[in-house]
Amino acid sequence: MGMRGTNTMSWMRGHALRWPPHVLTIVYVLVASAWVLGAAHLVQLRLAHAADRELADAGLGLLFVAISATFIFVALSRAWTQQRRSRLAWTAAVDARREAEAMLHEIVDTSSDAIFAMDLDGRYLLLSREAERILGQPTGLALGRNDGAFFPPVQAAERARASAAADALRTDDEFVATVDGERVLHTVRGPLHDAQGRVRGTFAIARDVTQRRQAEARMMLATKSFELAGYGKSISDAQTDRFLDVNPTYARERGWLRDELVGRSVFDVYPPYRQAQARSIARRLDEVDHLIVESEHMRRDGSVFAVLLDITVTRDASGVAQHRLVHAIDLARYRRDDDA
């Protein structure tokens, strides 16, 4: 009997727990009805004495109570198990969301970029620490305020227009007055959407590129100066003694095309009797960073002209010479211009 009861309970836990509630209810009603009707009929047929029938009815009633209790236990166990699983799943989801939000806040706050989020009225919803630093506001004080509280009116209006136009990802440079003075911010803007896909505001990620833009401007100026200089300029590799680049004037004064000189030995522009001096200059430049010397250069047709060479050496972190920057002045032309 004990083994049969154990098997019955195991079967019910293994199968009945997977049944939906309405199936369990129907099964219970059918089993209970069949039990009551069948048991009553069996008692009437088998027992002739009233006392025996009363005792049998009492036993059947107790057995019915036991079966009912089993069904109730199964149903309640199932409900409790499902509720517990749901609660654990909900708790795990909440913990995972909190962990993800904490990681996101950590990323935002430690980013070297300024990160903003604004509502449709331009009020700040989120700012990274770098964003707060640029605005010159302590943590949290900028929330709920718009650009008008931090920037001059014209600049605030320009930023508001840029945010309003950010219906898709847009990238541009903007000049912004910050606590560090006027800075150049390379800014990416885009729309913020809610769960239904409606635009609820804008976000912006801004990187301070002031130094980079200044370096680019200096590079452009240096390139322009190199290209347009009225005297010869060359850049050579200090290790191979070969031209890396020459400006148009340098090539023209020596009767070469620019591309023809690039890659050639720097000693090719010296006449034979100046080769020893040229190599002595190269050795000397391994020891000093700057040298001014007079020499002679040879044109492609073999003619020679006097030059004044102003040479600067660039070195790597270990002090090894990398490049030689040469300003070469045609002395004959210089003297003609001076006489004129």
Same domain, 48 and 34: yes
Contact 265, 282 (CB under 8 A): no
pLDDT digits (tens, 9 = 90+) for 279-295: 999 999 999 999 999 99
What is the span of the domain harbouring residue 202? 111-209
Residue 249 near residue 231 (C-beta atoms within 8 A): yes
Strands 114-119 and 321-330: unpaired
Tokens representing residue 26 in the block:
């129907």
pLDDT at 115 over 70: yes
Residue 222 in any domain: the answer is no
34: in domain: yes
pLDDT tens-place string over residues 200-228 = 888 888 888 888 999 999 999 989 999 99
Give a yes or no: residue 221 inside a domain: no
- 301 and 327 both lie in a single domain: yes
Looking at residue 93, its pLDDT comes to 81
Examine the domain organization and report whether 129 and 185 are in the same domain. Answer: yes
| 217 part of a folded domain | no
Structural domains of the chain, count: 3
* Per-residue pLDDT at 11 exceeds 60: no
pLDDT, tens digit, 9 for 90 and up, residues 61-84 = 667 677 777 777 777 777 788 888
- Runs of H (alpha helix) within the chain: 2-14, 21-46, 50-110, 129-135, 153-164, 210-228, 248-253, 258-261, 275-284, 331-339
Summary count for the chain: helices (H), strands (E): 10, 10
The pLDDT of residue 30 is above 90:
no
Domain contains 25: yes
Same domain? 146 vs 73 = no
Q: Give yes or no for residue 121 having a pLDDT over 70.
A: yes
Query: CA-to-CA distance for 218 and 97, rounded, in angstroms?
Result: 48
224-253 pLDDT, tens digit each: 999 999 999 999 999 999 999 999 999 999
Confidence of residue 1 (pLDDT cuts 50, 70, 90): very low
Q: What's the pLDDT band for 37 if we cut at 50, 70, 90?
A: low
On whether both 94 and 133 belong to a single domain, the answer is no
Question: Does residue 254 sit within a domain?
Answer: yes
Residue 270 is predicted with a pLDDT of: 98
pLDDT of residue 138: 67
